Homo-oligomer: A and B are copies of this chain.
């Protein structure tokens, strides 16, 4: 019965709340209930542990994102997109995985900056492409202002990050206020006026 998954889970939590440099292997081991050298039975180094956790998290989130976006393409896209923001706000509050991912995308450990960005860039590119694919569906693009699918996708990502920013530095409740304020603005801005 290996403690490997437990190590990854605990590392994720501590990396999310203390950062890479702030989370020591000793405290990770303590929280798992093992001794520090035992970690090296499963990971070659602290950096290796970090990258394993990071890749796993990226994989899961990518799957979740694309599934959410492309799962019901008939539904009005505003509903799908707004629900996605709300879901990410919930996730940010309840699971450390989202907090970890956001933190490390913003401020990766500086020694691993290039490696992390080489993973993150395709992730963001995929998300943007998925959004554009959704908005270019005829059902939706005929409701959008002309030639505007890519702009609407970019604008949405901006809204998403802006709301999540508030979730990071204050609370879910205040982030929800931001969403209430900007969502009608976003919709009026990208939809054809009736």
Interface residues of A (CB under 8 A from B): 17-22, 103, 105-107, 109-110, 120-121, 124, 150-152, 154-155, 157-166, 168-170, 177-178, 180-182, 184-190, 193
Give the distance in Å from the alpha carbon of A193 to the alpha carbon of B163 in the complex: 26
Pairwise interchain contact A22-B181, C-beta atoms closer than 8 A: no
Q: Contacting A166 at CB < 8 Å: which of B120, B161, B170, B182?
A: B161
Closest CB in chain B relative to A147 CB, distance in Å: 12
Q: Contacting A181 at CB < 8 Å: which of B124, B154, B161?
A: B154
Closest CB in chain B relative to A26 CB, distance in Å: 14
Pairwise interchain contact B162-A158, C-beta atoms closer than 8 A: yes
Q: Contacting A185 at CB < 8 Å: which of B19, B103, B170, B189?
A: B189
**23 interchain pairs, CB-CB under 8 A:** A18-B110, A19-B110, A21-B21, A22-B109, A22-B110, A106-B165, A106-B168, A106-B169, A151-B181, A151-B185, A154-B177, A155-B182, A155-B185, A157-B162, A157-B178, A158-B159, A158-B182, A159-B182, A161-B165, A161-B166, A162-B163, A185-B185, A185-B189
Give the distance in Å from the alpha carbon of A92 to the alpha carbon of B150 in the complex: 26
Closest CB in chain B relative to A105 CB, distance in Å: 5
Given contacts A184-B189, A185-B189, contact A19 B107 (CB under 8 A): yes
Give the distance in Å from the alpha carbon of A154 to the alpha carbon of B20 in the complex: 32
